[in-house]
Amino acid sequence: MPPRPSSRSMVYRPASAACSSAGASCAAPRWASSTCASNGAAKTGAGSPQWVVVDEGWGRKAADFATLSEPSNCREYVAVHHRLGVDAGDRLLDVACGSGLAIELARLRGASCAGIDASARLVAVARDRNPDCDIRTGDMHALPWDRASFDVVTSFRGIWGTTPEAVAEIYRVLRPGGRAGLTVWGHLKASAGFWALAPFGLAAAEKVGNQAVMVSLGRPGAGEQLLQSYGFADIERMDVPFAWEFADPDLYARALASTGPAYEAIQNVGEAEFHRAAVEQARGQLRDGLPLRADINVVGYLARKPEGAERA
């Protein structure tokens, strides 16, 4: 069985801007593929904001994503909630909430939850899972809540090197003393389960290149410096447990096809070829009597808005 990521963490100390490579040539951004990375100011035409196209990639197979792909994220969600001390009485916002499993797990800890995602079809699933929560379709660069509205804000692989300004909005809606928890892909090529990301490389070269830029926040010092630049304190970096598991190659291929990066690959080579390539990739990882398993390096950042911060 591939080795599992450790749960060690380390307190951030300001470092130089030099960072080692995250080693990602075909990364899998969770909520924004490179053609639909939320950008606030960018436009798609006819006056539509750029973020609305996220649903093209992530929403087209929302039920498949919610039931075949997202359940493997539960280790990540539980680990971050635990480290943040999410508990009864917390007002929690999940940014880029997707189909809402992280919100559901936070509710089980007693939190009162809200969420936002750019994909209307994923938001529909999230609302179905969490009918009493305030879950909205929108842009994470313009959160539709007042300042100091939340005790905790999370984002699970929803903020990228191409969308750093979203951190300012997280800071704004947190109360002074509030906690933030973000995750990003780590050193992908060093991951035992890197094989599972290979089909994303079937996207056009410029799309693959942009995916690598998106995962840059996993590099040593990058996420810490970003959070510090927006005013966060008590910043910690942690290794987050993450593993995809699938019963067989066909289910792996179907789950992978429900993601935004897969949509980019499918646009380039077609759905049938993407499925064939994914199944072939997974067949080489079969183990007698065991599920397919892909342990992938994920990095988490924990931070706090200073108690004395202005409510602005």
Identify the pLDDT of residue 81. 98
Give the global pTM.
0.85
Identify the pLDDT of residue 13. 30
Q: What is the third-level CATH fold of 22-304?
A: Rossmann fold (3.40.50)
What is the DSSP code (8-state) at residue 2?
P
Identify the pLDDT of residue 213. 73
Identify the pLDDT of residue 47. 52
Identify the pLDDT of residue 59. 95
AA letter at 135: I
Identify the pLDDT of residue 120. 96
Can you give the residue ranges of every domain in the chain?
22-304
Helix ranges (H only) for the chain are 54-58, 62-64, 74-84, 101-108, 120-129, 166-173, 205-214, 222-229, 249-257, 260-269, 271-283
Identify the pLDDT of residue 212. 73
CA distance 279 to 160: 28
Identify the pLDDT of residue 49. 66
Q: Decide: 77 and 138 in contact? Cβ < 8 Å.
A: no
Q: Where are the beta strands (DSSP E) in 96-191?
A: 112-117, 134-137, 150-156, 174-185
What is the DSSP code (8-state) at residue 189?
G
CA distance 210 to 165: 17
Q: Which H helix or E strand runs over 59?
A: none
Identify the pLDDT of residue 12. 32
CA distance 245 to 253: 12
Identify the pLDDT of residue 164. 85
Produce one character per residue of 295-310: b if its CB has 16 or more CB atoms within 10 Å, e if not.
bbbbbbbbbbbeeebe
pLDDT tens per residue across all 312 residues of the chain: 333 333 333 333 333 322 333 333 333 344 333 333 333 333 344 455 677 788 999 999 999 999 999 999 999 999 999 999 999 999 999 999 999 999 999 999 999 999 999 999 999 999 999 999 999 999 999 999 999 999 999 999 999 887 889 999 999 999 999 999 999 999 999 999 999 999 999 999 988 877 777 778 899 999 999 999 999 999 999 999 999 999 999 999 999 999 999 999 999 999 999 999 999 999 999 999 999 999 999 999 999 999 987 644
